[in-house]
Amino acid sequence: APSPDWVPGPDPARALAEVRALFADVHGGEPTGVWAAPGRVNLVGEHVDYAGGTSLPLALPHRTLVALRPRDDGRVRVVSAWAPDEPWEGALADVRPVRHPDEDRDEDRDEHEDRDEGEDRDEGEDRDEGEEGDRSVQGWPAYPAGVLWALGQPDDPGWDVPGADLAIASDVPVGAGLSSSAALTCSTALAVSDVLGHGDDDATRSVLVDACVRAENDVAGAATGGMDQQASLRCRAGHLLLLDSADGTVEHVPFSLEEHGLVLLVVDTRATHELTDGQYAARRADCARAAGLLGVEHLARAARGTSVEEVLERLHAAGADERVVRRARHVLTEEERTHALVELLRADRPQDVGPLLDGSHASLRDDHEVSSVELDVVTEAARGAGALGARMTGGGFGGSAIALVRTGDVDAVARAVTTASADAGHPRPQLVAVTAAQGAERVA
């Protein structure tokens, strides 16, 4: 049987040396500073941020580093350790949103109306928010360039953003559903904010979250609801971020598994994970449809003061089709699981949260239909080998799962997920045990 493939832990000193050397090579001289932002996993509260729900992410020790120095000619030059010989350069003034918000509005509306009437649509249908060709910046440079663009938008926040030289290096696995893109936008945003002297309070961090979401949605054309950027910018070491996406408020919930003899294992299935293929947007549209039929702003809050069953009955009565009801059931039950899980943690009972993790996975798989066969195989194998609970984490359709495991069972679980993946003909998963790390910060 194949042996488990453990991802090497992050090496912050090496990453810092790498990004400095890259900066010197490509731009010459020293950056003004270096800023770091982490990837994340979400413990529970999945696919609810765009429905005003509650999530519980933690920052990974794996981070993206951005070395930055402002330029006075309005140009952006950015290089990354992924492609050190291919720096991207352009004028900040030429960075544009994928599609202007006012354009195509009628077309959008028609499309939504058609969609609402259809029963089960073709799941494979492409619903890209923007085609490659619409983008003013192609590929990964759209993320840092998009942040500079977003922070300079006159409506909000209207900062006087200069051009910049940037170099980027990262430990965050790409395409693994661990928010490598948020790590990239958030480290860039903090760098710009800091060199412009905007201070570092919670209000500024919230401005940065919004700019990063806007950069990803509008310039990179990638769908995201905000949880990942909140996690990357606002998490604290040793804590989960209890995030209410209805109003952006957060609490920091202490989270240390070690004293309970537990480990949080991340299993990257290495199966394709792509949020821009339209499936994510389709889930959002279904949730928006449910909220509209119920006449509420935040679907995730609709069962407060009543019950999930009662809300679902109302949805049926309002004419929702069966698929929209299932999407709503996911959001509403996930909200209950998240609050129950927080209560268990507050009672110092992390060993008891496993069934809530399993329930979350089942709901994401059956009601929201965002899991994948690879994720189902590894979560089932983890449970079979003694994991207390396991679920997909992040956007789904591939990417990573998490498993809560007793320290003594880690090897058995690692072997079980590796063997089960091999038996199913899937790629060999990559494994890493994680602790709750610090959110974005200046490191040099």
Q: Which stretch binds ligand GAF (CB under 6 A): 20-28, 226-234, 338-346, 434-442?
A: 226-234
Binding status of residue 39 toward ligand GAF by CB under 6 A: no
Name the residues annotated as catalytic. Answer: 228
377 three-class SS: helix
Q: Which one among 47, 77, 337, 426 touches ligand GAF, defined by CB under 6 A? A: 47
Residue nearer to ligand GAF on the CB measure, 195 or 370: 370
Residue nearer to ligand GAF on the CB measure, 42 or 379: 42
Sort residue 348 into left (φ over 0), alpha (ψ -120 to 50) or beta: left
Tell me the C-alpha distance between 88 and 399, whole Å. Answer: 28
Residue 204: half-sphere exposure toward Cβ, Cα within 13 Å? 14
Binding status of residue 218 toward ligand GAF by CB under 6 A: no
Least Cβ distance, residue 11 to ligand GAF (angstroms): 26
Residue nearer to ligand GAF on the CB measure, 194 or 268: 268
Q: Which one among 173, 226, 389, 398 touches ligand GAF, defined by CB under 6 A? A: 226
Q: Which one among 64, 224, 279, 338 touches ligand GAF, defined by CB under 6 A? A: 224
319 three-class SS: coil
Q: Kind of pairing, strands 33-42 and 57-71?
A: antiparallel
- The answer to whether 81 and 184 have CB atoms below 8 angstroms apart is no
DSSP letters of 234-287?
H--TTEEEEEETTTTEEEEEE---GGGTEEEEEEE------GGGSHHHHHHHHH
Q: Which stretch binds ligand GAF (CB under 6 A): 8-16, 27-35, 225-233, 316-324?
A: 225-233
Report the interhelical angle of 142-151 vs 202-214 (nearest 10°).
120
Binding status of residue 227 toward ligand GAF by CB under 6 A: yes
Binding status of residue 61 toward ligand GAF by CB under 6 A: no
Binding status of residue 4 toward ligand GAF by CB under 6 A: no
Q: Which stretch binds ligand GAF (CB under 6 A): 16-24, 218-226, 310-318, 320-328?
A: 218-226
Overall size of the chain counted in residues:
444
Paired tokens of 98: 């994928």
Q: Which one among 39, 52, 141, 225 touches ligand GAF, defined by CB under 6 A? A: 225
Binding status of residue 363 toward ligand GAF by CB under 6 A: no
The dihedral formed by the CA atoms of 347, 348, 354 and 355, expressed in degrees to the nearest 10: -10
Quickly list H helices, 264-372.
279-294, 308-317, 322-346, 354-366
Binding status of residue 46 toward ligand GAF by CB under 6 A: yes
Least Cβ distance, residue 34 to ligand GAF (angstroms): 25
Residue nearer to ligand GAF on the CB measure, 34 or 44: 44
Binding status of residue 395 toward ligand GAF by CB under 6 A: yes
How many residues bind ligand GAF (CB under 6 A)? The answer is 13
Instruction: Compute CA distances 145 → 66, 94, 196, 216, 311, whole Å.
Output: 13, 10, 16, 10, 43
Q: Which one among 49, 171, 334, 358 touches ligand GAF, defined by CB under 6 A? A: 49
146 three-class SS: helix
Site residues, ligand GAF (CB under 6 A)? 42, 46-47, 49-50, 224-228, 275, 394-395
